[in-house]
Amino acid sequence: MGLPDSSLISWVFQLLPGFIAAWIFYGFTAHPQKTPFERTVQALIFTAFTKAIVIPLGWVLLVIGHMGTILGPWNENTAFVVSVLVAILLGIVFSGFANSSKLHDVLPDWITKQTSFPSEWYSAFKRDSRYIYLHLTGGRRLWGWPTEWPDNPDKGHFVIQEPEWILDDNQRAPLLLTYKMVIPVSDVLMVEFEKWPGERDYSPGRFEKSQRLLLNAQQESQKETES
């Protein structure tokens, strides 16, 4: 088997910073890995960003060198090392934007109404740190604090701390001997996020009416299931 063509090796080294940035991005975010073609396109985009920074930086360093402050020779090896460092920085910066959605949040609606999160599911958990109710298969309900949750609703597990079962009369049954529970997302039909005490409306009679309506609806649903 012959040695790889030098032009191919040069082409790979030219794209390597972009692949490094893409590798960091997918390693630091919950975004699912794309197809090989899409990942290559993303690497090309990161490579373009990297070159757009490294080339002007090289000009600036050459000017500084001509002015008498010599930091070292600027050649292909130096440019490659700087490109890798810039790619690492770009990967971290874009990961930060993707994990916080700050860039999308500051953009006006006429540009985009999207977030940087991979799905509405992920966005709901990322934006709100709250106690949750898990509606499980078989009609069971579990309340607790989610210390970990799946990145998407199709696979993974919930890790619930301070778990309490919700009884038919909506009372909570604390599991005093249980520290954490691990629930597969395949057993979860719906997730509720609980309001904090300051967000709740305890107007006279409103809470009782809500509880009564919910209990009646639950009892009717159980009757239909049993019949």
pLDDT tens track for 129-178: 899 999 999 889 999 999 999 988 888 999 999 999 998 888 899 999 99
Structure tokens at 3: 């040695």
Say if residues 53 and 86 touch (Cβ distance below 8 Å): yes
Given a cut of 80, whether residue 29 has pLDDT beyond it is yes
**pTM, two decimal places:** 0.70
* Start-end of H helices in the chain: 6-28, 36-66, 76-100, 102-106, 120-127, 206-226
Predicted local distance difference test score (pLDDT) of residue 1: 47
Backbone Cα Rg of the chain? 27
3-class DSSP state for residue 159? strand
Predicted local distance difference test score (pLDDT) of residue 69: 62
- List the chain domain ranges: 6-106, 120-226
pLDDT tens track for 105-134: 777 877 877 878 888 888 888 888 899 999
Predicted local distance difference test score (pLDDT) of residue 163: 95
- The torsion angle over the Cα atoms of residues 144, 149, 152 and 157, rounded to 10 degrees, is -90
Cα(87)–Cα(104) distance, integer angstroms: 22
Q: Distances from the Cα of 146 to the Cαs of 76, 119, 180, in angstroms?
A: 50, 18, 10
Q: Which is higher by pLDDT, 10 or 179?
A: 179
Say if residues 43 and 22 touch (Cβ distance below 8 Å): yes
DSSP label of 182: E
Strand partners, 184: 157
**Domain 120-226 belongs in CATH node 2.30.30.100:** yes
Structure tokens at 153: 């609703």
